[in-house]
Amino acid sequence: MTNLIDGKIIAASLRADVTEAVNTLKSAYNYAPTLAVVLVGDDPASQVYVRSKHKFTKEAGMGSLEHQLPEDVSEQTLIDLIKNLNGDDSVDGILVQLPLPGRIDTDRVIGVIDPAKDVDGLTEISAGRLSLGRGGLRPCTPEGCVILAKSALADGDSLSGKHCVIVGRSILVGKPAAFLFLEQNCTVTIAHSRTKNLADICRSADILVAAVGRPLMIKGDWIKKGAIVIDVGINRVAIDQHNKHDNPKAKRKTKLVGDVDFAAAVKHAAAITPVPGGVGPMTIACLLRNTVLAACARRNMTMPDKL
């Protein structure tokens, strides 16, 4: 029987560890870390995500700052805000909610963030430290993938020596995930939508990470019997394709699906993440953890044992 990797439960456990760590810092240093989130525009999905970050940050006992800027804000105004947050000693972590409007140079904006406060691990310095195997703040979603993969292992087992195939080469998930699984001593293959014999490569994976952004692209028979499947994809698709023909003005019903054909994959995988409820909750939990790690590093505070 396929084991469902419940990201909600695992994320709740990590958030509990973060809360305990924050309480330790309050007792030892009379200090609680603070996370600042910057949101540009009024995209509904981004707003929901930012609200969740605020909610869980407060529940963990940390400070939470929100800066919501209008859709037409100038790139320079956004950069000036980030520079101010860099210089604000009360702020330990800075996160710019992506995506930004197309007219704004995302790389330039992210590049302004102080690497010591880069809790999403996206600056060039953070990426460089990861690629060199040095300490630092790790990207939240890829780190969540590693934690979920570990959770699916039998007691006493490890990721060491396992073949991890990552389908997707983005700088947000695919590439950093490759380095993180390498840190766990996995043998890593990065594939993508243009990879030849992609199905055969996927079938060779002990751990298959799908992060290509195409709904249901990974078929059930692409998965080796007993593999662990981590589905990063989150795609909104229509439930009933006939509605647009019968009544073009009718509101289309949609649902969220991953990059993996879940219904077919459960016939092969030993363990798999659902969509939603798999990787998503881990991203926020890892963000909270990174904020605590950043605060401890910046302030020379002893890292709580829980983290």
Q: List active site positions.
A: 53, 97, 120
Contacts of 84 (CB under 8 A, 6+ apart): none
H-state helical runs in 167-222:
174-183, 198-203
Fill in the amino acid letter for 298: R
Angstrom distance (rounded) from CA 237 to CA 234: 10
Angstrom distance (rounded) from CA 102 to CA 10: 35
Instruction: Find, among 58, 54, 61, the residue nearest to 30 by Cα.
Output: 61
**Distance (Å) of CA 125 to CA 42, 138, 192:** 30, 11, 25
Strands 235-238 and 207-210: unpaired
Strand, coil or helix: 58: helix
